Structure 1
Amino acid sequence: MTGLQGTNRSIRIEGSAHSSTIVSGDHNVIIQVFQQLVEQPVEALADREDIAAIGANPYMGLAAFKETDADRYFGREAQINKLWERFRDLYERSEIPRVLPILGPSGCGKSSLVRAGLLPELVQRPLPVRSSMRVAAMTPGAYPLESLASVLAEVNPTDPLLSDFEEELKQVGRDSNEYEGLRRIANRIRDIRDTPLIILIDQFEEVYSLCKQPEQERAFTQNLLHAASDPTGNVSVIFTLRTDFVGETQRYDQLNQIICAEGVLIPGMTKDELCRAIAEPARQAGHTFDDATVDLLVNDTEGREGALPLLQFALTQIWEGLRAGQAPIVTYRDIGGVGGALAGEAQKIYDKLTEPEKQTTQRIFIGLIQLGERTQDTRRRAIVENLVASQDTIESVRRVVQQFSSPSTRLISLSSQDGKETAEITHEALIQEWKLLQYWIKENQEKLIQRDKIELAAEEWKTQDKSNDYLWQGKLLENARSFRKLCGREFSLSELAEAFITQSLAREHPTFDKIVNCRADHSGKHSAEPTWH
């Protein structure tokens, strides 16, 4: 095995390139996992010498299960088999696109079910008509074409057109007027006929909540549908989607029709399934929960909306209590049960902060929220440097972020994008459960709307090669300038949005650049705005 590890970033390659594979890429972080990793039965894994010693926490906290967690994913065995059979039937019906939508509300376990359940099952048990399967898993992020190009590059690293994948995905065919890039790229993959490509789009709702470029949204969607409709059968698509975003798909009739006809709605877990999800990871790690503890957790979870991440978080806390010598029931009561554990942990961290740190915390979390349009609010990934408001420093922001991203809680997840550190709320359950965060969002709603409006306009300006025609002027520009001046102490804008406002002002007032450059402080932020008469 070879490995490369850095801060919140890992690339791992195991096994042989001649077997079925999973290639997973989330926001340009690629993990390649081969069949040998997931094909062993759980009974065999339990005897391995490298199984973690008793005391290591087997639960996931707020993080979704991934492909590498298949050996500790329990309770959804029947649903995994159902999805495998549904995908097999879909694949064999050649007259329709090979697209399997998997739907459910936030917190029902869609991502974990597919990534730790269905994908390893497809690799371990390929479809009868194929000898093996090749799986590429990704999340769209704000730039879905870039994310798709990145994961395709890992699938086919020897393609002579590798560096042009993203541009190829943007191109429309000369004769067909269709986005054919994905189909063409897939057809160039070696042995594609014997080992077809399955693309998993996890959290497809990010196409609507994070991507603010209509043309990229359209190209991404149509690339997937066109490739999945190709009669060669070389490409199939599986995606997970929150049910409150189904309405957004109506702008693409074919996609919407597929969802209505082929979508699988993920049910809540039964009592027996919850029992397995609670008890089996502990048993595998060397500890057996008593029946009373399991029953208590099951009863507290059953019927609760978005409960699965809350349950995993509570179990994580209970296990840490065990390591400290505390009985499960004592920890359970201390954290406020399944419903109180998540919000209670966030509040506990917040209450220990100094007053300036509490103010920074509010600004950070507000910067990690994307207001919903007819949908629930969602998390928003941000470059850490862009979370620094005018009264903060990068050091003060990092100190607070570290408090909420420690391994024991991980309420905020850190990764990297284009070499820059990024942060995001680990699970949207925190947005729904933490009352203080809900209060901050409500109090700042109008400002958040204005911030998002500026960011959206800046993204459009960028996609148009920063043409002056897409700069703001008049009332729009005045509102943006006022926002930056009056709200800059509370709300940070991205570097792109800052540049967008600056260039808009420079276009309207040719002397603006010189004035601003004279007033710029050492952090590179504008220390003041000139007043125009």
Structure 2
Amino acid sequence: MIPGAHPLEALRIALSSAGADDASDDPVAALVKAAERGCASRDLLLVVDQFEEVFSAAEGPERARFLDGLAAAAGNRDGRVWLVLTLRGDFYDRPLLHPAFARVFVPSVVSVLPMTPDQAESAILGPARRVGVEVEPSLLAVLVVEAIEQPASLPFLQFALTELFDRRTDTRLTIGAFRELGGLDGVVSRRAEEAYGHLDEVGRGIALQVFLRLVRLETGARHSRRRARLSELTALDADPVSLSEVLDAFADHRLLSLDRDPATGDATVEVAHEALLWGWDRLARWIEGHRADVRRRASLSAAAEEWRASGRLADYLLAGSRLAEYRGWAEGTELRLAAPEREFLEASVRHHEEERTEEAARVKARALLERRARRRLRGLVASVALLVAVGTFVLLSSLAGRPPDVALLFAGYGDGGYRDTIAAGFDSAARELDLSAERAVLTYRRPDEYGTELERLSDEGVDLIVASETALNQARFEAIAADHPETHYIALEILTGRLQNVAYVNFEDQEGSFLAGAAAALKSRTGIVGFIGGAELPVIWRFEAGFEAGALAVRPDIEVRIVYLRGEAGSGFDDPAQAQKVATRLYRNGADVIFHAAGSSGLGLFQAAYQVSGEVGEHLWAIGVDADQYREIRYAVGEDLAAAWRDHILTSMLKRFDTAVYTIMAEHARGDWMGGGRWFGLAEEGVGLAASGGFIDDIRPELDRLSSRIISGEIEVPTIPARMRGTDEPRSPER
């Protein structure tokens, strides 16, 4: 059997073909039963080829069930089931992450070492002699040398011998034919280029789409081939005749394998030789240039499949930040979506727009009623004023100078960070709720510019003011807000406040950090992850506590190393050089994923991840904070450096200022004002993880399950670090 994406189904088919009892009901139970009693009164030999697909293609729960079954069967030393598994060497560590299976796996491993010259010669001559073919001595010598000198050369040797057999002279395989093929290095690439070169422009475009659907990207391992249903390829909105010509061309050159799924009978397509993924230069460039696209498409396809399996329930559609990410990606990617993927994305967009339209209509109607009420009140006041001889001119001047409904006081657009997300939420709410708006941009070139501008807007009678930068100006802000009790304010990230006309907005940082910790642990290969904090402050402790709890929740044996930067008065948040030194030390001491809550110091973490990866020859990860640093890092360091760092930014813990601002502005417009502390967590879509690079798409189902458990209250995320809980004196982290 070959596991594929559904190893339990593949096991059912394999056992049924061998006559195992009850395989159709529960293949794992049937396998365990066969280990005890045999299969049809005989011993059973189960060969699982391409065992790495259990880890690269199958989902977590099905993978665990399958491995548990193999472990139970193999663990029965007196049993009647024998297992043979073939596993690529770069996947050797994956079985070790499953304790029960690891116990039977480790003592049974037989490492297939590179061939010796004698073994290579036998591998070449043995099959040739069986079919009466002679190999020229000079060709044999070259093949043996190249086969033993090149790592992972067996697929190339296999392909070369097949091609040489087709080009034989009488019954001889010749050195001349081998040189025409381009040698062992070039045989696959040359053959693929030959097939590609015979295609027209339309066919070449289709070839790119096809091959990028036949690869599965791995982290810390070489890419692997992916088996696709033919129906998936025909759903690409490509000319069917051209698609057929492409598939036939590469199949005729033995580069694609056309088969049928043993479970469903559906036609399938896959790369015939996994070596093609890195041996064909053009395909290798395609893969390298579309890494994020391939990951994102695979994730979208999986989500679409879940939606269809649910009966197209709206709960399974994309929403919020995930919808925005996929929608933006789909508009800009070169990859074509298959019809089911397009249907899923379009249904998500329609559902989102319908919800927003309904909400906007409700809010707009409520706001219109309130504005009419205010106008009637102003008319009444004006009438009274006339009766007491205030004067018509004063009345008309007052109405002509009517203030905007809402205003934003902030430090400007274009930093690529949280300020832009604040502005995005403000602009969306003003536009969709039909509110007149003013944006006051701070330059900090005048003394007390913040207080002066806030007071001006308040005195003018603006109904609602969104105030950024309040944490730096809290005393001045609250004094002005207290003097204007009829004005509503949104104050961002002030932990405490006493005014009911102010919504003090904060975020459940520990919840987003919990997911960051889970992602780090799931991606870690060394079992060591790190956290870098900008300063020992209660707000940063929430990040640390959540990150550590999330990592331990998915891997209880994970080691979490905590480091805080040194500095006076918060300088640890603006010291990339110190962060780079700390991160470099953590990486060199075994950590392979590090999360930072250290402001702009995080730039040093990204530099360290990129630099140390090159030094140690391992792919190291960093996790950003606040904004989607995969996308926004270019604003801080420029596009060239950002391009080098992006491959190491696993994800970012997002704080959705746009969601918070929009939500409270909508409440204000509806007349549902709630002052005081306002906290935004996972339930309110106020925090989450970015997925721009596509690096967490493979673990997204597990992260979504954890998120649901947090929202339901099943998981309560701590806000105090473990090192401080249950002790009179907190332990100091590493520095």
Same fold (TM over 0.5): yes
In 2, the alpha carbon distance for the partners of 1:231 and 1:325 equals 50
| Counterpart residue type for residue 491 of structure 1 | R
SS in 2 for 1:367: coil
Contact 2:251 2:258 in 1 (8 A): yes
State which of 149, 153, 156 in structure 2 corresponds to 1:303: 149
Change (3 A) 1:183 1:465: farther
Equivalent runs, 1:150-169 vs 2, <5 Å? 150-156=13-19, 159=21, 161=22, 164-165=24-25, 168-169=26-27
Question: Would the alpha carbon gap of residues 326 and 351 (structure 1) be closer, same or farther in structure 2, given more than 3 Å must change?
Answer: farther
Instruction: Specify the code of the residue in structure 2 equivalent to 1:448.
Output: V
Cα distance in 2 for partners of 1:286, 1:325 equals 7
1:366–1:440 CA contact under 8 A, matched in 2: yes
Partner of 1:476: 322
In structure 1, distance between residues paired with 2:118 and 2:343: 55
In the alignment, which residue of structure 2 is the partner of 1:199? 46
Offset at residue 388 of structure 1 (A): 4.1
Shift of 1:499: 5.0
Is residue 339 of structure 1 aligned with residue 185 of structure 2?
Answer: yes
Deviation per CA, 1:482-501: give whole Å up to 9, x if none: 444444x6333473x44543
Structure with greater Cα Rg: 2
CA deviation string 1:60-95 (max 9, x = no partner)? xxxxxxxxxxxxxxxxxxxxxxxxxxxxxxxxxxxx
Q: Which amino acid aligns with 2:345?
A: I
Q: Pick from 35, 56, 63 the counterpart of residue 209 of structure 1.
A: 56
Q: Which runs of 5+ in 1 are unaligned?
A: 1-137, 170-178, 513-532
**1:187 offset after TM fit, Å?**
5.3
Distance in 2 separating the partners of 1:388 and 1:511 = 33
Match of 1:422 in 2: 268
1:453 aligns with 2:299: yes
1:288-347 Cα shifts (integer Å, max 9, x gaps): 223222112111211211111211211122222215799712111111111111111111
**What secondary structure, in the 3-state scheme, does the structure 1 residue paired with 2:212 have?**
helix
Alpha-carbon distance between aligned partners in 1 of 2:204 and 2:101, rounded to the nearest angstrom = 44
* Higher relative contact order structure (alpha carbons within 8 Å, sequence separation ≥ 6): 1
If the length of structure 1 is used for normalisation, what is the TM-score? 0.61
Counterpart of 1:370, as a letter, is: R
5 Å-filtered alignment, 1:168-179, equals: 168-169=26-27
For residue 360 of structure 1, what is the amino acid of its counterpart? Answer: I
User: Are the counterparts in 2 of residues 385 and 394 from structure 1 also a CA contact under 8 Å?
Assistant: no
Partners of 1:200 and 1:337 in 2: CA distance? 33
* Alpha-carbon distance in 2 for matches of 1:324, 1:353: 32
Within 1, Cα distance between the matches of 2:350 and 2:86?
44
Query: Aligned match of 1:251 in 97, 100, 116?
Result: 97
Q: Aligned pair count?
A: 356
Write the letter of the residue equivalent to 1:501: L
The correspondence for 1:184, drawn from 13, 33, 37, is 33
Name the CA distance, whole Å, in 2 between partners of 1:191 and 1:498: 48
Structure 2: 5+ residue runs without aligned partners? 357-431, 433-735
In 2: Cα distance, 1:429 partner to 1:148 partner: 27
Which letter does structure 1 place at the counterpart of 2:258? Answer: L
Say which is worse superposed, 287-296 or 371-380, in terms of deviation: 287-296
Deviation at 1:356, TM superposition (A): 1.6
Using the TM superposition, give the Cα deviation of residue 438 of structure 1 relative to its aligned residue in structure 2, in angstroms.
1.0
1:144 corresponds in structure 2 to 7
Checking the alignment, whether the CA contact within 8 Å between 1:388 and 1:492 is kept in structure 2 is no
* Partner of residue 175 from structure 2, selected from 329, 352, 356: 329
Cα distance between partner residues in 2 of 1:141 and 1:492: 22
Correspondence for 1:412 among 244, 248, 256:
256
| Residue 366 (structure 1) aligned with residue 212 (structure 2) | yes
AA aligned to 2:11 is: L
1:443 alignment counterpart: 289
Aligned to 1:108: none
Contact 2:203 2:246 (8 Å CA) reproduced: yes
Cα distance in 1, alignment partners of residues 49 and 121 from structure 2: 26
Distance 1:280 1:390, change over 3 A: closer
Question: Aligned to 1:314, which of 149, 152, 160?
Answer: 160
Cα distance, 1:494–1:430 mapped onto 2, change above 3 Å: farther
Return the TM-score normalized by structure 2.
Answer: 0.45
- Tell me, yes or no, if the aligned pair for 2:121 and 2:144 is still in contact at 8 Å: yes
Contact 1:140 1:147 in 2 (8 A): yes
Shift of 1:284: 2.0
Note if contact 1:181-1:223 (Cα within 8 Å) is conserved in structure 2. Answer: no
Map of 1:281 onto structure 2: 127
Please give the secondary structure, in 1, of the residue aligned with 2:86.
strand
Query: Using the alignment, how far apart are the partners of 2:172 and 2:299 within structure 1?
Result: 49
Q: Is contact 1:367-1:491 (8 Å) kept?
A: no
Give yes or no for contact 1:367–1:492 (8 Å, CA) kept in 2: no
Deviations 1:108-151 (A, max 9, x none): xxxxxxxxxxxxxxxxxxxxxxxxxxxxxx11011100000011
The 1:256/1:503 distance shift into structure 2, 3 A limit, reads farther
Check if 1:431 corresponds to 2:277: yes
Quick one: which amino acid aligns to residue 154 of structure 1?
Answer: S
RMSD: 2.9
Say which SS state the counterpart of residue 415 (structure 1) adopts.
Answer: strand
